[in-house]
Amino acid sequence: EISFVGNRTRNLINGGALANVNNVLPGAMFGDPTGDANRYRPMPQWQELRVLRHDLYSNYNSLQASLAKQTGRINYTLAYTWGKAMGIINNDLNPFDRDAAYGPLGSDRTHVLSATYVIDLPGLAGDANAFARGVVNGWVLSGIVQAYSGVNIQPNTTNANFNLNAPSAQAGNQLNGAWILGTTAIRAMPRLTCDPRSNLGENQFVNGACFAPPVAGVNGQPGENGAYVMPYMRGPAYFNGDLSLFKEFSITESKRIQFRAQAYNFMNHPVRSFLSGDPNLSLNFNAQGGNTNPRFGFADNKVGRRTIMLGIKFFF
């Protein structure tokens, strides 16, 4: 079977910075970037005024193919999906331009492959006595194999800006939206100087040398902020295989015992991964604009281990 599967969602609840009707307007704080932002709001007698809106949206499009065999000694299913999930990756990046943050979502998996199989193993004791046939014959092998491409790294990082830490000699302070664009409502984003997907080392998924800090504004003129949606930087791919072996032994017509041996991640294949709040996905710049995190973009963690479970079921 081959099919197109897609959906579109509209009017999603938006309670983030996009819903704030009292954001500091761009340029308002150029003369006082370290001051009290509340003084520069359109309604200075109030602070943030978030009014829930229903203006977020997303969409999903995919090609899905499956192949199944359900007869004979060997049964299997193969399923493959090539798709893309798009939407607002973070609604706190730029409240003045919602669509500027439209891109592949953090949940997107471009390629998804899964397979299941059940195999009735052939009998090996055809001429043996009844006890040997009962022990050796009748075993069933089954398993599941899963392989996914990596997720989009940027939306899965802190604040979708790699937890940017950028002190600046130019600004004399930590660079933020007030220094760059004169408003605290816009998030500071790193600038790209090359393709962060190129020239990667072993187990590296983002090239930290391709990032530079944003530039502060000067004399009331806007500085230079980075793009809100970066190139699609894929994280580590996922692979897993589970295996089970079982057999039933008849005691009487109505009673039987099933022996089952199961192994999750039976190949004991570790998966490279970035953990929640991983420091290897934090951009730390010094005042001269150099990246001080030498392990940025490297997936140094491994997750997953083989788990074996043995079980006996009694049917009556």
Q: Is the pTM of this model over 0.75?
A: yes
Q: What tens digit of pLDDT does each residue of 236-291 get?
A: 999 999 999 999 888 888 898 999 999 999 999 999 999 988 999 999 999 888 89
Label each residue of 35-65 as H, E or C: CCHHHHCCCCCCCCCECCEEEEEEEEEEEEE
The string of DSSP codes covering 172-231 is TEE--HHHHHS-TTSPP-PEESS-TTSS--TTB-S-GGGEE--B--BTTB--BPPPSS--
What length is written for the chain?
A: 316
Q: What tens digit of pLDDT does each residue of 35-48 get?
A: 999 999 999 999 99
pLDDT band (50, 70, 90) for residue 138: confident
Mean pLDDT of 131-153: 87
Q: How many CB atoms lie within 10 A of CB 187?
A: 24
Residues 6+ apart with CB under 8 A from 36: none
Amino acid at position 86, single letter: M
**99 SS3 class:** helix
